[in-house]
Amino acid sequence: MRTRQFSYLSILIFITISCKQDTKQLPLEYLPGYWNVYAAERSGKSTSLLNGAFFDLREGNVIVTNVNGDTLTSDYVFSKNTINVKELDKVFKIVNLSQDSMILHSKISNYNYKFYTVRSEQN
């Protein structure tokens, strides 16, 4: 009986720990700025479709980006390490953020994309 209770408790703890979302706090002071996409992956494979793409994250939660082809200016909401771009109806999850680089993940047209960006002073 005790073995069974211990097993149930162990499974419950394992599930709780496994399902816990990544709550790593990002250094958000690095987020605003102009980010050039220097490499991208579509479904785990390198793609050149996004050569020349950029994300310009401005004050007041405004983003300028061309990841859909045309340059678009939109409001965005930042929540739980994600950037929700209203005009694109897209969510970009920040996988990694440092002073000079950022990695984003998004799902576009049923494909998983990963964007590798570097901060740039040039607009």
Confidence check: pLDDT of 119 > 50: yes
Tell me, yes or no, whether 6 lies in a domain: no
pLDDT given at position 30 = 86
- Which CA distances in Å does 52 have to 27, 66, 115? 26, 8, 12
User: What's the CATH code of the domain at 101?
Assistant: 2.40.128.20
Tell me, yes or no, whether 14 lies in a domain: no
Highest mean pLDDT among 6-10, 21-25, 113-117, 118-122: 113-117
Per-residue b or e along 41-79, where b marks 16 or more CB atoms closer than 10 Å to that residue's CB = bbeeeeeeebeebbbbbeeeeebebebeeeeeebebeee
Tell me, yes or no, whether 2 lies in a domain: no
pLDDT given at position 42 = 96
Confidence check: pLDDT of 19 > 60: no
Q: Mean pLDDT, to the nearest integer, of 6-15?
A: 49
Residue 81, domain extent:
31-120
Domain count, the chain: 1
Two structure tokens written together for 1: 């009986």
Tell me, yes or no, whether 111 lies in a domain: yes
The C-alpha angle 47, 121, 35, rounded to 5 degrees, equals 30
Tell me, yes or no, whether 96 lies in a domain: yes
In whole angstroms, what is the distance from residue 91 CA to residue 105 CA? 8
Confidence check: pLDDT of 5 > 90: no
- Which CA distances in Å does 17 have to 4, 8, 107? 20, 14, 26
Q: Confidence class of residue 9 from pLDDT cuts 50, 70 and 90?
A: very low
Q: What is the pLDDT of residues 75-101, one digit of tens each?
A: 999 998 999 999 889 999 999 999 999
pLDDT given at position 12 = 44
Q: What is the pLDDT of residues 23-71, one digit of tens each?
A: 566 777 889 999 999 999 999 999 999 999 999 999 999 999 999 889 9
Tell me, yes or no, whether 13 lies in a domain: no
Tell me, yes or no, whether 61 lies in a domain: yes
Q: Confidence class of residue 2 from pLDDT cuts 50, 70 and 90?
A: low
Tell me, yes or no, whether 79 lies in a domain: yes
